[in-house]
Amino acid sequence: MAALPRYLCHLDSCATFSRVDQERRGQWLRGVLDVCVMALLGRRESYGYELAQALDEAGFGQIQGGTLYPVLLRLQRTGLIAAEWREGGSGPARKYYRLTEDGKQAVARLSADWSVFAGHVDAVIRR
């Protein structure tokens, strides 16, 4: 996982993006968004909007709800995360997600896979 923010921060530092670049970023994001969400939930349980903010702070930019929630639903359906509705103190009820045991194993495996994959890309690009 460590390698991920660096690449995306690097992309963010480009002054302007062409449409093609943005599409490519979108494609990359689709490939790793579920892993990033699981990694964040591995640190602490959270709800959708808070996850979107955390991803924004990590340099992904604003992830829209229409992108994020379907990923959460899919992870929940496959048992990698679990959800629970909880009343907020003053605010509305929120759906909190947490990583399951299966999810923890999946994150460990996927983050190792990602490091290997990113290493290959890096090696080719920088040669």
Q: Which two three-digit tokens encode residue 33?
A: 């968004």
Shortest approach of other proteins to residue 117 CB, angstroms?
Answer: 24
Q: Between 1 and 32, whose beta carbon lies closer to other proteins?
A: 32
CB nearer other proteins, residue 89 or residue 92: 92
Identify the helix (H) or strand (E) that includes residue 36. helix 19-43
What distance in Å separates the CA atoms of residue 59 and residue 40, rounded to the nearest whole number? 14
Nearest-angstrom CA–CA distance, 48 and 7: 24
**Where on the chain is the footprint of other proteins (CB under 8 A)?**
47-49, 52, 64-66, 69-71, 73-74, 77, 85, 91-95
Nearer to other proteins, 26 or 119 (CB): 26
Shortest CB 20 distance to other proteins, Å:
21
Smallest distance, other proteins to C-beta of residue 58, A: 17
Q: What is the largest CA-CA distance in the chain?
A: 55
Nearest distance from C-beta of residue 31 to other proteins, angstroms = 16
Residue 103: exposure state from Cβ atoms within 10 A (0-12, 13-18, ≥19): buried
Tell me whether residue 18 or residue 64 sits nearer to other proteins (CB atom): 64
